[in-house]
């Protein structure tokens, strides 16, 4: 695929930002911490996280909510 000067797809960028933040903090992040780190509202990232969780791209520690 060639690089173009077209604008980037913001929802895709948001998912990448989530995955990069979680990769950086291997002990995990709470929803509030993640929201702050990537500067996105919790209401926006919550359904993304739920999808990543159901599809087994991430995991949730029930004890720490991370």
**Separation of first and last alpha carbons in the chain:** 35
Residue 42 has pLDDT above 90, yes or no: yes
The whole-number average pLDDT for the span 30-59 is: 97
Q: Is 90 exceeded by the pLDDT of residue 32? A: yes
Q: Domain-by-domain residue ranges, the chain?
A: 10-54
Mean pLDDT value across residues 32-39 = 97
* Residue 15 burial by Cβ neighbours in a 10 Å radius (0-12, 13-18, 19+): middle
> According to the model, what pLDDT value does residue 54 have?
98
Q: What percent of the chain has pLDDT over 90?
A: 80
Q: What is the pLDDT of residue 3?
A: 76
Q: Measured between alpha carbons, how far is 34 from 25 in angstroms, rounded to an integer?
A: 10
Task: Summarize the confidence of residues 6-26 as an average pLDDT.
Answer: 95
Any idea what DSSP says for residue 41? -
């Amino acid at each position: 695929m060639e690089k173009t000067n077209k604008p980037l797809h913001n929802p895709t960028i948001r998912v990448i930002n989530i995955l990069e933040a979680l990769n950086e903090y291997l002990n995990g992040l709470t929803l509030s911490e993640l929201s702050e780190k990537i500067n996105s509202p919790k209401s926006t990232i919550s359904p993304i996280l739920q999808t990543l969780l159901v599809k087994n791209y991430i995991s949730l520690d029930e004890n720490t909510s991370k």
